[in-house]
Chain A
């Protein structure tokens, strides 16, 4: 079990799989002011990531797992994170 939900706080740990996405979304809808602790997370399934990013909950602790932390966009509230500042158009090739 990787997700512990209380009234205003969600604590995620270990590997958080796709099965956790739905309860997390319901929780986020019910608790728009909720806070999330990711400190013990090793991996978030993409579906869980997008739930966390789509809702307005606040991440109060970032993963201690350095590799995972590097991947997560830095914004405090992910929803407001637009694409990074530096973009450029380049020709590229199909894989």
Chain B
């Protein structure tokens, strides 16, 4: 279904509820003004909305209902229970009709009962109200003297227009003095008149002294000639109907405006020749005569146009010329005098507003609106199902180990596989329902960028790409804040002021890009700018000042590692606290928020060329895959995305660097953590027959760590929930998860472990 129609169907249900509620209240207390108002408003909105689609019966029924509500509201009609019955019935029919739209693409129920409903509703309308609606807005037919301001040159220029039209309209637009306070620019309005062939500004005859001049009181008039149809002109001036006078201008009236004067302006002999030629209708001679006329733009040009335009009616042309000649005393011998011109019937009519409807928008599939909370509940249930499903392999194991029922275990595993597949499908189906396009998050940023850029005096263009990329609703919701922070950072710290950019030879305005795309099961959201980029020296300096790391440690850091210091809590590269990005969340929070939803943040930067921040987010935020490791008898979970490799190593593969144990892994020394020692589970690592212990190599960002564990188990999908109560203080845990056998799994936070190791 087209989104607009879907919106209409959804909103109609709400509006009908509001109508029902208003009507119920009215039934309780017929004097309840607020109830009448609410009822009227809801009905009015319903009707207005229905007009967007091609459901004429629905609109008419709602229109009739709205009229009744209006009569109630204005006190022209008193509420009575029998009226209530009718309106309740109407609401039911409309509700059914809207439901029909979903299924049948038309409001069938309403169509069937439209006539009856309309008749019944009209019966309630007081006589006066019904008539008020049908009052014709007759144009006031009071004629008014109008000064036509049409210079001679303009007249000459108008003649050729009569080759295509017979009637032009002279328009005198005299805006009300307070027109500017109506948000109008009458000059612009005049210029946009359809079919303008000539126009001018007419100034008042005198101006006050400048000191007393009220510049916001409009004293100008606009006079113009248009070749558009009267209805189009009327429509154009529909808001200024009282300020506009129209006058039909046909060729004879135009001739009458300038003929005598044109004739007077000619030299005596030529004038007589001209009159004679025009009277005789000797067109060939006329052409020759014109060719001899030296002044092509003066009276001769006027007459050339006139003769051309009037040729189709030689009698009338002759009469006009004779009339001028007589009035100038040039002609003594006159026949029956004819007054040239004559107004076409003044068929001034009300503007014809084109109320054509939108093309029918037909729905293709039915939709229902579900509260987000219900989907969240569904999601939670799917999560529980995943966990319960994971109980089956334990059961299979138990069937073998405790009961020795291997065939049963096999059947359980087969059943598990089948359920697993269904659960996966179900999970995907629920994911799909929860998917929203990223544009819902992105749409606020153009505004933000513009406002911030303005505030900071920077020039930036924002390009947004990939708004159609869909992502889980929950991820989308938490994404807004980090993105806002990244964009603020770019504008505040990254992008240079225009002068600085010019000095550096960089493009002004700067470019800020917000883009999104899919990469496998991940959605990448990227914020990039072409600003200053990250300065690792300054970052290191800052980190030292802040006591985040010692100078010697910093010296060892690669450029890339230094960048990641900006994610350290409390780090800020700019000294002054700007009121744009210096408050609220910092980069550390950006990172935390993204990681909490199972995502990662990556940085890329070149000094003076810009910064690119990539948020790599899971398509859906639901279960997480963790590897279960053993420490003593206790299982712990490690998020699979942080696991690089599991290795076995003999104690002699370990070295001690000062106080720290390290492991040489792929030619590198990585810190080694003995988890068992850390959690005080057992005194030393469990070794296998070759004297080796199990090491899990994990990586967070670019930092690696080796974890000595007692053993590896399977990987499972679990729902990780944050720890509550006093345990929440333990940052080495990301949270806990329930395993299929009902036991609790603590999931390790590798980042914290690594940081703890560093500190």
Is A–B contact present in the complex under a CB 8 A cutoff? Answer: yes
Contacts of B148 in A (CB 8 A): 86-90
Q: Is the CB of B188 within 8 A of A49?
A: no
**Which of the candidate stretches B77-85, B121-129, B203-211, B531-539 sits at the interface with the other chain?**
B203-211
Cβ B151 vs Cβ A25 within 8 A: no
Q: Which residues of B contact A82 (CB under 8 A)?
A: 205
Q: Determine whether the beta carbon of B201 is less than 8 Å from that of A93.
A: no
B140: A residues at CB distance < 8 A: 94
Q: Are A50 and B218 in contact (CB under 8 A)?
A: yes
B175 at the binding interface (Cβ < 8 Å): yes
Write out the residue numbers on chain B whose beta carbons fall within 8 Å of the beta carbon of A91: 143, 145-146, 247, 343
B257 on interface, CB distance cutoff 8 Å: yes
Q: Is there contact, CB below 8 Å, between B215 and A22?
A: yes
Which of A46, A90, A92, A95 contacts B237, CB < 8 Å? A95
Q: Which of B143, B150, B190, B210 has a CB less than 8 Å from the CB of A25? A: B210
A86 to B153, CA, bound (A): 10
Q: How far is A55 from B210 in the complex, measured between Cα atoms in Å?
A: 7
Chain A residue contacts of B253, Cβ below 8 A = 90
Question: Which residues in A have their C-beta under 8 angstroms from that of B220?
Answer: 46, 49-50, 53
Nearest chain A CB to B212's CB is how many angstroms away? 10
| Residue on A nearest B148 in the bound complex, by CB | A88
Contact B211 A29 (CB under 8 A): yes
Is the pair A93, B245 in contact by a Cβ cutoff of 8 Å?
yes
Complex: A29 Cα to B211 Cα, angstroms: 7
Q: Is B201 in contact with A86, judged by CB distance below 8 angstroms? A: no
> How far apart are the CA atoms of A22 and B170 in the complex, in Å?
33
- Residue contact B151 to A86, C-beta cutoff 8 Å: yes
Note all chain B residues with C-beta closer than 8 A to A94.
Answer: 139-142, 144, 245-246, 348
The one of B143, B170, B190, B257 that contacts A86, using a Cβ cutoff of 8 Å = B257
By beta carbon, the residue of chain B nearest A17 is B185
Interface 1/0 per residue, B149-184 and A, CB below 8 Å: 111100100000000000000101001000110000
Mask of A21-45 contacts with B, CB within 8 angstroms, 1/0: 1100100110000000000000111
The closest CB in chain B to the CB of A81 belongs to: B203
**Residue B366 lies at the interface, judged by CB distance under 8 Å to chain A:** no
* B-side interface residues, number (CB < 8 Å): 59
A87 to chain B: which residues have CB within 8 Å? Answer: 147-149
Are the CB atoms of B207 and A79 closer together than 8 Å?
A: yes
What are the residues of chain A within 8 A of B758 when measuring CB–CB? Answer: none
Bound Cα distance from A54 to B216, whole angstroms: 13
**B187 close to A (CB within 8 Å):** yes
Q: Are A45 and B185 in contact (CB under 8 A)?
A: yes
Q: Are B185 and A86 in contact (CB under 8 A)?
A: no
1/0 contact trace for A43-80 toward B, CB 8 Å?
11111011101110000000000011011110000110
Contact B150 A86 (CB under 8 A): yes
Partner of A51 from the list B185, B215, B257, B346 (CB cut-off 8 Å) is B215
Asked whether any CB of chain A lies closer than 8 Å to the CB of B244, the reply is yes
Within B88-142, the residues touching A (CB, 8 Å) are 139-142
Measured in the bound complex, the distance between the Cα atoms of B191 and A53 in whole Å is: 18
Taking CB atoms, residues of chain A closer than 8 Å to B261 are 86
Chain B nearest CB, measured from A71 CB (Å) = 5
Check A89/B203 contact, CB under 8 A, given A46-B180, A47-B180.
no
Minimum CB–CB distance for B201 against chain A, Å: 6
Check if B213 is an interface residue, CB within 8 A of chain A: yes
Q: Which residues of A contact B143 (CB under 8 A)?
A: 91-93
- Given the known inter-chain contacts A18-B185, A51-B215, A95-B139, please indicate yes or no for A28 contacting B246, CB distance below 8 A: no
Q: Which residues B345-366 have CB closer than 8 A to chain A?
A: 346, 348
A49 touches B343 (CB 8 A): no
Q: Which residue of B lies closest to A32 (CB)?
A: B210
Q: Are B201 and A49 in contact (CB under 8 A)?
A: yes
Given A43-B191, A95-B241, does the pair A78, B210 have CB atoms closer than 8 Å? no
Does B234 have its Cβ within 8 Å of any Cβ on chain A? Answer: yes
User: Which residues in B have their C-beta under 8 angstroms from that of A79?
Assistant: 207
Q: Is the CB of A53 within 8 A of B203?
A: yes
Q: A86-B257, A94-B144 are in contact. Are A46 and B175 (CB under 8 A)?
A: yes
Point out which of A18, A71, A73 has the most chain B C-beta atoms below 10 A from its C-beta: A71
In the complex, which of the residues B145, B151, B205 contacts A89, with contact meaning CB atoms closer than 8 Å? B145
Contact: B215 with A92, CB < 8 Å?
A: no
CA distance A82 to B203 in the complex (A): 7
> Chain A residues near B602 (CB, 8 Å)?
none
CB-based nearest B residue for A21: B215
Instruction: Tell yes or no: B199 within 8 A of A by CB.
Output: yes
Judge whether B241 and A44 touch: CB under 8 Å. no
Flag if A93 contacts B139 (CB, 8 Å): yes
- Contact A92 to B207, CB < 8 A, known contacts A54-B213, A83-B202, A86-B258: no
Tell me if B219 counts as interface (CB < 8 A to partner A): yes
Instruction: Provide the bound-state CA to CA distance between A88 and B145, in Å.
Output: 9
Chain B's closest residue to A68 (CB) is B191
Q: Judging by beta carbons under 8 Å apart, are B191 and A93 in contact?
A: no
Residue from A50, A70, A95 with most neighbouring chain B CB atoms (10 Å): A95
**Residue from A44, A55, A78, A92 within 8 A of B246 (CB atoms):** A92
Whether the Cβ atoms of A93 and B150 lie closer than 8 Å is: no
| Contact pick for A78, options B141, B186, B203, B208, CB 8 Å | B203
Please tell me if the beta carbons of B234 and A71 are within 8 angstroms of each other in the complex. Answer: no
User: CA of A47 to CA of B220 in the docked complex: distance in angstroms?
Assistant: 9
Q: How far is the CB of B597 from chain A (nearest CB, A)?
A: 46
Across the A-B interface, give the 4 residue pairs with the lowest CB-CB distance, nearest first. Answer: A92-B247, A46-B187, A92-B146, A93-B346
A-B contact pairs, 7 of them (CB 8 A): A81-B203, A86-B151, A87-B148, A90-B253, A93-B247, A94-B245, A95-B234
- Chain B residues packing against A (C-beta within 8 Å): 139-152, 155, 170, 172, 175, 179-180, 185-188, 190-191, 198-203, 205, 207-208, 210-211, 213, 215-216, 218-220, 233-234, 237, 241, 244-247, 253, 256-258, 261, 343, 346, 348
Given contacts A87-B147, A92-B247, A95-B245, 16 further A-B contacts (CB under 8 A): A18-B216, A43-B191, A47-B216, A49-B201, A51-B213, A53-B201, A53-B203, A53-B220, A71-B201, A83-B149, A84-B150, A92-B246, A93-B246, A93-B346, A94-B245, A95-B241
